[in-house]
Amino acid sequence: MGGGVVQKSGGGGGRRGRRRGKSAAMAEINVTPFVDVMLVLLIIFMVAAPMLTVGVPIQLPETAASALPSEQEEPLTVTLTADGRVMIQTQEVADGELIPKLQAVAAERESDKIFLRADGAIPYSRVAQVMGALNAGGFRNIGLVTDPDGPSFGASGG
């Protein structure tokens, strides 16, 4: 048996892998850091978003209704607290001043949409009275704000 010569296959001067030229660009994009940053931003916004709403503490009733679509103009919010106070945004308003203030605000706004946030402990008659005042103040499009995790009454879907 003679002495055989062993050669390395794929000889390329001792380099591993294939390279086309001296300045071959990397063709893949590493998406992992981008996904990590986006998940961190998502968590930050999920934590910060509830803090951006009007800060009058009330216990909203829960319903199975879905949320309304948002719009360009900042929504006007009227709040009925558990102790019966009425607030426009975060400013408390007496019952006798509610309609004149709403008329003044309606004259400056393009939209007649208003959101009514009422504590779940408020009697329905009081909510209906305030809704009548909103209507008399020039706001015909009234949205009732609720928490979405309420009873579904047998409805399927989410």
In-domain check, residue 76: yes
Strands lying side by side in the sheet with 141-144: 91-93, 86-88, 76-80, 113-118, 141-144
In-domain check, residue 19: no
In-domain check, residue 29: no
In-domain check, residue 47: no
User: Across residues 126-130, what is the average pLDDT?
Assistant: 89
What is the C-alpha separation between 53 and 63, in angstroms, rounded?
19
In-domain check, residue 111: yes
In-domain check, residue 32: no
Do 54 and 89 contact (CB within 8 A), yes or no? yes
Domain that holds residue 73: 56-144
Amino acid at 73: E
In-domain check, residue 34: no
**C-alpha separations of 152 from 59, 90, 117, 127, 158 in Å:** 19, 31, 20, 22, 9
What is the C-alpha separation between 87 and 98, in angstroms, rounded?
9
CATH number at residue 110: 3.30.420.270
Q: Which two tokens stand for residue 44?
A: 């930050």
What's the number of domains the chain is made of?
1
122 versus 73: the higher-pLDDT residue is 122
Beta strands in 44-138 (DSSP E): 76-80, 86-88, 91-93, 113-118
Q: Which two tokens stand for residue 99?
A: 């309609």
Tell me the per-residue pLDDT of 64-101, one tens digit each, with 9 for 90 and over: 776 666 556 677 888 998 888 899 888 889 988 888 98
Q: How would residue 113 be classed by pLDDT, with cut points 50, 70 and 90?
A: confident
In-domain check, residue 35: no
Give the pLDDT score at 37.
Answer: 94
